[in-house]
C-alpha cells in the first residue's frame, strides 16, 4: 500500500541535513517549498550520529529537522541507517566485515561493508531500530519507513566463516537430508558427494569451475540473507508503528542482479525503485522504461515509488554525461507514465565533500541561478497538475518473463558461449517491443498468465517442470508464446532436462535440437527475408512446427531459424538465433497481429503509455525525437489545461498527458 497520507504525485528526494549548518537547513526548507517538494528521505547514512558510541543514542538533531520539515508541511520518509555502520562497530566487530570469494576481507571506509549473515550486525541494527521506531512512531511527519538503502549494491555475497555456518543452516532447511542435497547438486560428478554438513564450503574460488548447482544455491542463499536483514528491521517497525508502511529501495530493478525481487515483493508494504540512466547509451530512455515496467511488475501491477533518480550527471560511471535540457523532465514523467506515484531524486542539495560530491542534485552547486534549478521548479508545477493521476493503473496484454535464477545460472562458468547474456537478450526483446509501442508487464515464470495475449520468454534458461508447464498451459489455452534460444534448458538445480533441447519446452514449441552451434566472435549468418543472426545457431528439427524464416548459410543452412507451432488453442514461436532489433520488430509485427494486438503507426521515438482510472484514462505522450508528432486524442492536456477534441501536436522533446473518458 502507498502511504495513505500521500496525495498526488510525491516530489522530493534524499535530504542530508547533517552535512549542513542550521542556517543552510532553514534556507533548504524555503527552497523546497518554492520547488513544490512534498516528501524527503532523511537519515540513510546517519548511524554514527544516531549512535555515536555503542549503546549511546542521540536523536535531538533528528527531532529538530523532522519538526522543521513538518512545520513547513513537508512529509518524511524516515530511513534506518543500517547501510552504513559506524567506525566503532567495525572496530569492535571486525568479523562483521565481508569476505570476497577470493578470501580477502574488505575494510571500512565505504558503505555496505557488511556480512549479511553477521549476528553482531543484525543485533546492533535491531537495537538502533528499536529506539528509532519507538521515538518516531506516530509522528505526523513520518509517512513511510525506509529500511537500509539498495540491498546488494554494491556488496551482496560474503564468503566468511559466519556465512559458511549460515549457508549450512539454509541448506538443511532447503534439502532436509544430505542425500537430497547430493542429488540436487549432482555431486556424483567429479566425486563431490558430501557425507557431513560441515564438509560443505561456500563456493570460494577454485582451480577450475566450481559446481554450478552449489553456486546457484549460494546466490539464492545470499538473496535470502539480505531479505532476512530487511525483515529483521521491518518487523520491529511494524510492531512499533503498525499504521505506517515500510519499504526499501531497490538498486534499480533491471541492474539488481543480487536480489530476486519476486521473493521480496510479498515482504514490502510498497515497492520503491531507484533508476540511473546508462549515460552513454543514446536511447537510454528505453532502459528507463524497462526498469519502470519491472518495478510495476514487482508491485503486482499497482502504483510504486520512484525513490531515486538524477537531475543531471551521476558520479560513478566511466563517463558521467550530463542530461540535456528537457531530458530530466521527460525522464521524470516517463516514470509516472509507467506507474510511479512519486518523482524523487538523489539528492536535494549537492554535497561539497565525500565520494558523491560530483553527483547532480535538485539544488546544484551553482545554486538557484541554474538551468537545473529552473527545471526542478517547473517539474514541481507539472506534478501538481498531475495529482489526479496518482493511484491509476497501467494495463497491458503483453508480458515478458523475468527470472533472476535464470540470470544467475546462465552466466556461470562453462556455458556454450561467452556471448550468452541474459540482460542482452531481455534488452533486445524489450527494445523491439518498446519501438512497436507495446507496453509490457514483467512477470515471474510461474505467474498467472491468463490476462495476457502474448508472453515472451527470452533466455529463460532455467525452468522447473512446473514453470515450463505454466507456459505450455498458457499457449494451450489460446495464448501466444514467443521463446528465444537457450530457454527451458535446465531445471531449478541447473540440471539439464533430459531428451535434448530446448528441454522442458520441446513439446510446446514443436521442435527438437540435437546440439548447439555457437558462432564465432563477430560472425553473422543470413536468414530468409534479408535478416541476419549472430551469437548462436541451431539445427532445428520440426516436430510439428512450421518454418517461418530459414538459415541461408552458416552451420545450419537449410534448417528453420524461426518457427511457429499451433499448440492447443494457441501458438508458440521459437527464435533460434540472436536477431537484430529490426529483425525482431518485423517478426513481432506478425506475432502481435496474430495475438490480436494492434500497434499505432507513430515514429519509434514517441513513447505512448496509458494509465487507467475508473472514470477516465491518462495518455502519456513522450516525444524523445526532434520532430513534432500529432496524436489523435479527445480530452484535456493536464500539463497546460488545454482541451483537445481531435488531436494534439507534441513538439520534439516535449511531453503531453491527456485525460480522456474511460
Q: Which residues are catalytic?
A: 150, 308
**Strand intervals (E) in 63-190:** 75-80, 142-147
Using an 8 Å Cβ cutoff, are 136 and 66 in contact?
A: yes
The kind and range of the H/E element at 284 are helix 284-298
CA–CA separation, 434 and 421 (whole Å)? 20
The kind and range of the H/E element at 227 are helix 212-240
Respond yes or no on whether the N-terminal peptide bond of residue 167 is cis (omega within 30° of 0): no
Using an 8 Å Cβ cutoff, are 326 and 371 in contact?
A: no
CA–CA separation, 150 and 351 (whole Å)? 20
Pairing outcome for strands 305-308 and 272-274: parallel
Beta bridge partners of 78: 42, 145
**48 is written with which cell numbers?**
554514527
CA distances from 638 to 108, 361, 381, 631 (A): 49, 27, 11, 16
The kind and range of the H/E element at 168 are helix 161-175
CA distances from 386 to 77, 200, 634 (A): 21, 56, 17
Using an 8 Å Cβ cutoff, are 95 and 118 in contact?
A: yes
CA–CA separation, 2 and 4 (whole Å)? 6
* Phi and psi torsions of 447, nearest 5°: -70, 160
The kind and range of the H/E element at 134 are helix 119-136
Query: Could you say which DSSP state residue 430 is in?
Result: H
- Spatial strand order in the sheet of 524-527: 524-527, 531-534, 578-579
CA distances from 219 to 226, 257, 618 (A): 11, 10, 40
The CA angle 587-527-399, to the nearest 5 degrees, is: 25
Using an 8 Å Cβ cutoff, are 38 and 8 in contact?
A: yes
The kind and range of the H/E element at 274 are strand 272-274
Using an 8 Å Cβ cutoff, are 481 and 468 in contact?
A: no
CA–CA separation, 351 and 347 (whole Å)? 9
Of 141, 32, 135, nearest to 77 by C-alpha is 141
Beta bridge partners of 513: 501, 540
CA–CA separation, 477 and 444 (whole Å)? 19
Query: Could you say which DSSP state residue 266 is in?
Result: G
CA–CA separation, 530 and 387 (whole Å)? 49
Dihedral over Cα of 140, 141, 147, 152: its sign? positive
The kind and range of the H/E element at 48 are helix 47-50
CA–CA separation, 348 and 362 (whole Å)? 5
Amino acid at each position: 500500500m502507498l502511504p495513505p497520507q500521500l496525495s498526488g504525485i510525491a516530489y522530493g528526494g534524499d535530504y542530508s541535513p547533517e552535512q549542513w549548518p542550521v542556517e543552510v537547513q532553514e534556507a533548504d526548507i524555503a527552497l523546497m517549498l518554492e520547488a513544490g517538494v512534498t516528501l524527503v528521505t532523511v537519515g540513510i547514512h546517519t548511524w554514527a550520529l544516531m549512535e555515536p558510541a555503542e549503546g549511546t543514542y542521540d536523536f535531538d538533531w533528528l527531532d529538530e529537522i523532522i519538526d522543521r520539515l513538518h512545520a513547513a508541511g513537508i512529509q518524511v520518509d524516515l530511513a534506518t541507517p543500517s547501510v552504513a555502520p559506524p567506525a566503532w562497530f567495525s572496530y569492535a566487530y571486525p568479523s562483521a566485515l565481508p569476505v570476497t570469494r577470493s578470501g580477502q576481507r574488505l575494510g571500512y571506509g565505504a558503505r555496505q561493508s557488511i556480512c549479511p549473515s553477521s549476528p553482531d550486525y543484525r543485533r546492533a541494527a535491531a537495537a538502533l531500530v528499536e529506539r528509532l521506531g519507538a521515538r518516531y512512531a506516530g509522528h505526523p511527519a513520518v509517512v513511510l519507513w525506509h529500511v537500509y538503502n539498495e540491498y546488494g549494491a554494491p556488496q551482496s555475497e560474503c564468503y566468511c566463516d559466519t556465512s559458511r555456518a549460515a549457508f549450512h543452516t539454509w541448506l538443511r532447511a532447503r534439502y532436509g537430508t544430505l542425500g537430497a542435497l547430493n542429488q540436487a547438486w549432482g555431486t556424483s560428478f567429479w566425486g563431490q558427494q558430501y557425507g557431513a554438513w560441515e564438509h560443505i564450503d561456500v563456493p570460494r574460488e577454485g582451480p577450475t569451475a566450481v559446481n554450478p548447482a552449489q553456486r546457484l544455491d549460494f546466490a539464492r542463499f545470499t538473496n535470502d540473507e539480505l531479505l532476512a536483514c530487511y525483515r529483521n528491521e521491518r518487523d520491529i517497525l511494524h510492531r512499533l508503528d503498525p499504521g505506517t508502511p515500510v519499504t526499501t529501495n531497490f538498486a534499480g530493478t533491471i541492474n539488481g542482479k543480487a536480489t530476486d525481487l519476486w521473493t521480496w515483493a510479498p515482504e514490502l508494504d510498497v515497492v520503491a525503485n531507484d533508476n540511473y540512466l546508462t549515460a552513454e547509451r543514446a536511447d537510454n530512455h528505453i532502459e528507463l522504461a524497462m526498469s519502470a515496467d519491472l518495478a510495476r511488475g514487482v508491485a503486482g501491477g499497482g502504483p510504486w515509488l520512484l525513490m531515486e533518480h538524477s537531475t543531471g550527471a551521476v558520479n560513478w560511471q566511466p563517463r558521467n554525461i550530463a542530461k540535456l535540457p528537457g531530458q530530466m523532465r521527460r525522464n521524470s514523467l516517463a516514470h509516472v507514465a509507467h506507474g510511479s506515484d512519486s518523482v524523487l531524486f538523489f539528492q536535494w542539495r549537492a554535497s561539497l565533500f565525500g565520494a558523491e560530491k560530483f553527483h547532480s542534485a535538485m539544488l546544484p552547486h551553482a545554486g538557484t541561478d541554474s538551468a537545473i534549478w529552473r527545471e526542478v521548479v517547473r517539474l514541481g508545477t507539472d506534478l501538481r497538475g498531475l495529482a489526479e493521476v496518482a493511484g491509476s493503473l497501467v494495463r497491458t496484454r503483453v508480458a515478458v518473463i523475468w527470472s533472476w535464477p535464470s540470470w544467475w545460472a546462465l552466466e556461470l562458468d562453462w556455458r556454450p558461449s561467452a556471448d550468452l547474456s541474459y540482460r542482452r537478450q531481455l534488452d533486445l526483446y524489450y527494445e523491439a517491443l518498446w519501438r512497436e509501442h507495446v507496453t509490457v508487464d514483467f512477470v515471474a515464470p510461474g505467474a498467472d498468465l491468463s490476462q495476457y495475449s502474448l508472453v515472451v520468454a527470452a533466455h529463460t534458461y532455467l525452468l522447473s517442470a512446473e514453470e515450463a508447464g505454466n507456459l505450455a498451459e498458457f499457449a494451450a489455452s489460446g495464448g501466444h508464446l514467443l521463446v528465444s534460444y537457450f530457454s527451458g534448458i535446465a531445471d531449478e538445480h541447473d540440471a539439464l532436462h533430459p531428451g535434448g533441447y530446448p528441454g522442458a519446452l520441446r513439446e510446446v514449441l514443436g521442435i527438437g535440437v540435437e546440439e548447439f552451434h555457437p558462432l564465432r566472435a563477430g560472425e553473422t549468418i543470413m536468414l530468409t527475408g534479408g535478416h541476419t543472426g549472430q551469437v548462436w545457431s541451431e539445427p532445428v528439427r520440426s516436430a510439428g512446427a512450421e518454418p517461418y524464416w530459414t538459415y541461408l548459410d552458416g552451420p545450419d543452412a537449410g534448417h528453420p531459424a524461426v518457427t511457429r507451432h499451433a499448440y492447443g488453442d494457441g501458438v508458440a514461436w521459437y527464435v533460434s538465433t540472436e536477431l537484430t532489433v529490426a529483425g525482431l520488430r518485423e517478426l513481432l509485427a506478425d506475432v502481435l497481429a496474430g495475438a490480436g494486438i494492434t500497434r499505432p503507426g507513430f515514429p519509434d521515438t514517441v513513447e505512448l503509455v496509458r494509465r487507467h482510472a475508473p472514470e477516465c484514462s491518462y495518455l502519456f505522450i513522450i516525444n524523445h525525437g526532434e520532430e513534432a508528432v500529432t496524436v489523435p486524442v479527445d480530452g484535456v492536456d493536464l500539463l497546460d489545461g488545454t482541451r483537445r477534441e481531435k488531436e494534439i501536436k507534441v513538439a520534439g522533446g516535449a511531453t503531453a498527458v491527456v485525460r480522456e473518458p474511460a
